[in-house]
Structure 1
Amino acid sequence: MLNVLTVPAFQDNYLWLIHDGTHAAAVDPGDAEPILAALDAHGLSLAAILLTHHHADHVGGVPALLARHSVPVFGPRNDGIDVVSRTLTGGDQVVLDRPALRLEVIDVPGHTRGHIAYHAPEQGWLFCGDTLFAGGCGRLFEGTPEQMAASLMKLAGLPEQTQVFCAHEYTLSNLRFAAAVEPGNEALQERIRAEQAKRDAGQPTVPTTVGLEKATNPFLRYAEPAIADQMIAAGHVSSREPIAVFAALRAWKNVFR
């Protein structure tokens, strides 16, 4: 039986440990100390490291982990990460013996040029780094709106019950933006109440699910007529063309407060 440990880091990052009670794979360990502490607290041995993209808050802890544990480092072929020992691209698979885990690799450029995500089909888990967030998506630091929209649609095509383990606790701010974009979405209003209750109780809002994101996340709903109407009425875009709406959504989110 596999489980996922949530490991908070920095101000709002989530690092992940996929484990079988004995061996663990660390996902995007931007800081080594919380990972080492979690391994020790749960009696786990690090067996592998999985990286989604090159940003420091996702890879910064790898050298210190490798100094303590000689393990393979899986990561994107096209994102320039020196510590990666086994490079991956879309369509590849990662098969680990310990913990026993099979992951499908999905290319999801947009946030960075070479960003990848890991899908565990047997468990119904998705580790997507900074591509899809609960209620939002990553900034377009290196990619284009077309690339990010296509990447998000790949993830939206996974089974709706798939649990989405994204890398940041941005949910409430993302949902405030979503409410400005789609004020008539009743599922979104219900979600805001539920997620606020979790945060009030000191609980994480992640993982989310693909189905919940499809119902409430404007970056998966950019082709909805109501969103185009709202964006045009607010003066953020003059066209109903879906990619134009998506690009305008991301540009508005960049400055939304």
Structure 2
Amino acid sequence: MSRLQIEQIPVLTDNYVYLLHDPASLATAAVDPAVAEPVEERLAQKGWTLTHILNTHHHGDHTGGNLALKQRYGARIVGARNDSQRIPGIDAQVADGDSFLLGEAAAVVMAVPGHTSGHIAFWFPESHALFCGDTLFALGCGRLFEGTAEQMWSSLLKLRGLPDDTMVYCAHEYTQSNARFARLLERDNKALLTRIDDIDAKRSRDLPTVPSPLAIERATNPFLRADIESVKKGVGLPGEDPIRVFAEIRRRKDAF
């Protein structure tokens, strides 16, 4: 197996597109290309040729560059089988548990509905890299546009179960706002307070807070901690079922 070279491209106001390059085969994928031009510019800088586009879900700020990039490079577009009608230009349809090869780099496809009904994530174990779109954010999670709290909690548990050294490559720079919200729920979480200081320092220098280690997300992200008593108490639901707690956290964040 091959370890990926990963390039992070900030686009629009707060989106990230990722380029994944397999040095063994020279295969290169763009993950969730919101727009085409910044991707084209970075490819030219690196001397890479786009061979694939990986879409985590159908929203326009994740698929807006699909067709232009496909037309220019002939890239093969990969997306969820059960959402194929909403993925522009889709060529390859994948489902939960499938293996996807980018050259010699193998990914596991994970169904993670909640934000959308057909949301998927791509986990590259050898590269310790998770591309999770809008399901899991640094210190947050996506809004429940098409799914239920039960679905999203199940999806987050699936992601939470990945190895500690997994790096979470989410699709938006929402971390500073998420941190302010998380602090309201766990004021005594020392790991969270330390992380907030680091986030503020990075953003003051206009540096990205993404990717983040999954181990740190587990220790600080309230949306991954709805079964932790300190978080339950933080929303006034001590001893309650985690799904109910998660739903309350999501409701509060929606109004934050």
- Which residue identity does 1:126 align to in structure 2? L
Q: Measure the CA separation in 1 of the matches of 2:218 and 2:239.
A: 23
8 Å contact from structure 1 (residues 107, 114) kept in 2: yes
8 Å contact from structure 1 (residues 26, 49) kept in 2: yes
- Which residue identity does 1:177 align to in structure 2? F
Residue ranges of structure 2 left out of the alignment (5+ in a row): none
Could you tell me how far 1:135 is from its partner in structure 2? 0.3
Give the corresponding residue for 1:192: 196
Give the corresponding residue for 1:254: 254
Q: Measure the CA separation in 2 of the matches of 1:20 and 1:75.
A: 19
Give the corresponding residue for 1:40: 44
1:87-166 equivalence runs, <5 A:
87-97=93-103, 100-166=104-170
Could you tell me how far 1:239 is from its partner in structure 2? 7.2
Question: For the aligned residues, what is the CA RMSD?
Answer: 1.3
Match among 81, 89, 112 for residue 83 of structure 1: 89
- Which residue identity does 2:231 align to in structure 1? I
- Which residue identity does 2:244 align to in structure 1? A
Aligned residues: 250
Match among 2, 17, 30 for residue 15 of structure 1: 17
Could you tell me how far 1:17 is from its partner in structure 2? 0.1
8 Å contact from structure 1 (residues 239, 245) kept in 2: no
Please state whether the residue corresponding to 2:126 is helix, strand or coil.
coil
Deviates more, 1:76-85 or 1:103-112: 76-85
Could you tell me how far 1:238 is from its partner in structure 2? 8.5
User: Once the two structures are superposed, what CA deviation does each residue of 1:48-88 show, in whole Å capped at 9, x if it has no partner?
Assistant: 11000000000010011011011211101122324211011
Could you tell me how far 1:101 is from its partner in structure 2? 1.4
- Which residue identity does 1:26 align to in structure 2? A
- Which residue identity does 2:95 align to in structure 1? T
Give the corresponding residue for 1:2: 4
- Which residue identity does 1:5 align to in structure 2? E
8 Å contact from structure 1 (residues 3, 20) kept in 2: yes
8 Å contact from structure 2 (residues 170, 211) kept in 1: yes
> Runs ≥4 in structure 1, deviation > 2 angstroms?
20-23
Could you tell me how far 1:120 is from its partner in structure 2? 0.3
Percent identity between matched residues is 49
Give the corresponding residue for 1:208: 212
Residue ranges of structure 1 left out of the alignment (5+ in a row): none
- Which residue identity does 2:247 align to in structure 1? A
8 Å contact from structure 2 (residues 67, 88) kept in 1: no
TM-score (norm 1): 0.94
Give the corresponding residue for 1:26: 30
Give the corresponding residue for 2:74: 70
Q: Measure the CA separation in 2 of the matches of 1:81 and 1:161.
A: 31
- Which residue identity does 1:74 align to in structure 2? V
Could you tell me how far 1:2 is from its partner in structure 2? 2.5
